[in-house]
Structure 1
Amino acid sequence: MSHDLDKNQHSVYRLTYHLVLVIKYRRQVITPEIFNRLIEIFNNNASNFDIVLEESNFESDHVHLLFKAKPQTQLLKFVNAYKSASSRLIKKEYPEIRKKLWKEAFWKIGYFISTTSGANLKTVTKYIQNQKRL
């Protein structure tokens, strides 16, 4: 993972996120082959949102994705587009999965996302508290 700062015309930033997506009802359907396809779909969608995948891993019922984004990235739109595309394509390309799912749902409706950019919250809070006041 790169710790370099990103830049645009008006700012310097490092925006990294940890995203966890869980299979509906925690069905154990993710295999290494399916995970590789999920990552391929992620990267195809990510390019439309200026997102770069930094790291990924999985268990049979969920995936972990660490990615970089830009300040203008619309995270909600990206996550929804990725979940929709991956659900549709995985069910189409791996029809045997449908037998393990409840109805048509592939992913749980919700997800977990957290910022991971740089120092931890305690360090940033202390830094701000120790700044001089005028």
Structure 2
Amino acid sequence: MANTFTQIHIHVVFATKFRNAQINAQWESRLYDYIISIFSHYNHKVLAIGGMPDHIHILFGQRPDQSLSELIQKVKASSSKWINETGLTSSKFSWQEGFGAFSYTKSDLPKVVEYILNQKNHHQKRPFLEEYKKILSDQGIEFDSKYIFKDQI
């Protein structure tokens, strides 16, 4: 798109189905590399990626020629297919429906990167749902707790 100039930074969060702890530390970095390659394939740039066994955080620079929902759907579908085809889990892997997405200015990026890269430390102090609700509140997003990532059927 000629003459189009953007600076769009998105922090996206999504969870494994029912928040099952399926992302194993032994292959977590391979998953992150695979997800980064998906973003790169669609010409978006991952700035940070991190998470826990039951969820993932990604900060990326988004190009304006693809919708956020379409991109995340492709990332989730492709990565879950890859996990299942490579046999990384003993049970079927899938991501939970939905995601959280939050925009940040360039000056906020260092603290968001630090937050994402230090997920394991953050969750020693605060559980995922509590922290996720805090992000929603800090962003001024109204939500109903019954629609937050489910942890069971």
Q: Is TM more than 0.5 here?
A: yes
In the TM superposition, what whole-angstrom CA distance separates every residue of 1:28-68 from its partner, at most 9, and x where no partner exists? 11123332122222122112321100011111100100000
User: Unmatched 5+ residue regions in structure 2?
Assistant: 109-139, 141-153
d(CA) in 1 for partners of 2:34 and 2:88?
Answer: 17
2:34 maps to amino acid: I
Q: CA RMSD in A?
A: 2.3
For the pair shown, the structure with the greater C-alpha radius of gyration is 1
Find 2:36's aligned residue among 28, 31, 43: 43
The residue that corresponds to 2:57 in the other structure is: 64
8 Å CA contact retained: 1:29, 1:97: no
d(CA) in 1 for partners of 2:32 and 2:47?
Answer: 11
d(CA) in 1 for partners of 2:106 and 2:39?
Answer: 22
d(CA) in 1 for partners of 2:88 and 2:3?
Answer: 47
8 Å CA contact retained: 1:19, 1:113: yes
1:74 maps to amino acid: S
8 Å CA contact retained: 1:41, 1:82: no
User: Unmatched 5+ residue regions in structure 1?
Assistant: 1-7, 99-103, 122-134
The residue that corresponds to 2:87 in the other structure is: 94
The residue that corresponds to 1:5 in the other structure is: none
* Misfit runs of 4+, over 3 Å: 118-121
Higher strand content, 1 or 2: 1
Question: In structure 2, do the counterparts of structure 1 residues 12 and 95 end up closer, same or farther at CA, with 3 Å as the change threshold?
Answer: closer
In the TM superposition, what whole-angstrom CA distance separates every residue of 1:102-132 from its partner, at most 9, and x where no partner exists? xx551001111111134789xxxxxxxxxxx
The residue that corresponds to 1:16 in the other structure is: 9
2:77 maps to amino acid: S
Where do residues 68-87 of structure 1 align in structure 2 (5 Å cutoff)? 68-87=61-80
